[in-house]
Amino acid sequence: MASEVLGIPVKTDPLATEGKAGLVKAFQDATSVFDSSGLCIFTSFAWTLADIQPQIQAACEGDWSMDKLNLMGERIWNLERQFNLKAGLTAKDDTLPPRLLKEAAKTGPAKGKVNELGKMLPEYYELRGWSKDGVPTADTVKRLGL
């Protein structure tokens, strides 16, 4: 994530779990907008939505404020989730290889640690407005106009 590697928007500890779900959601929503704009997704490691908002506003008719872009990114991510659910994927697929969840790292800064996805995923679902099963709630679907 840009926050861990480049400190964008703020530097975060790659080993910390607190607040990570919110950063992941924000990054996913932003990269959805980048991807939809036609810009190279790798620019999202150096640019923020605030950097590309004027470009989108100049190129596209209508209101492309920061609020609108954030909402668009969230809508895209939820549409993708709905597609994946209809294709048969479930919350059980929101995981990592067992080795990363059960075997402690043998070397490096994470030595002795395992990924704490189980702690972060419920918070992520809640921030997304999804059920405990990873399904967008009726309120989320309505709010996003999906």
Q: Which residues pair with 136 in a beta bridge?
A: 130
> What's the predicted TM-score (pTM) here?
0.88
Helix (H, G, I), strand (E, B) or coil at 6: coil
- Contact (CB, 8 A) for 113 and 104: yes
CA distances from 62 to 10, 16, 58, 59, 141 (A): 31, 40, 9, 10, 23
pLDDT in tens, the chain (146 residues): 566 655 556 677 778 889 899 999 999 999 999 999 999 888 888 888 999 999 999 999 999 999 999 999 999 999 999 999 999 999 999 999 999 999 999 999 999 999 999 999 999 999 999 999 999 999 999 999 99
pLDDT at residue 46, as a whole number: 83
What domain count does the chain have?
Answer: 1
pLDDT at residue 66, as a whole number: 96
Q: What is the CATH number of the domain that holds 75?
A: 1.10.599.10
Tokens of 19: 């607040």
pLDDT at residue 4, as a whole number: 61
Q: Which residues pair with 130 in a beta bridge?
A: 136
Residue 44 structural domain: 2-143
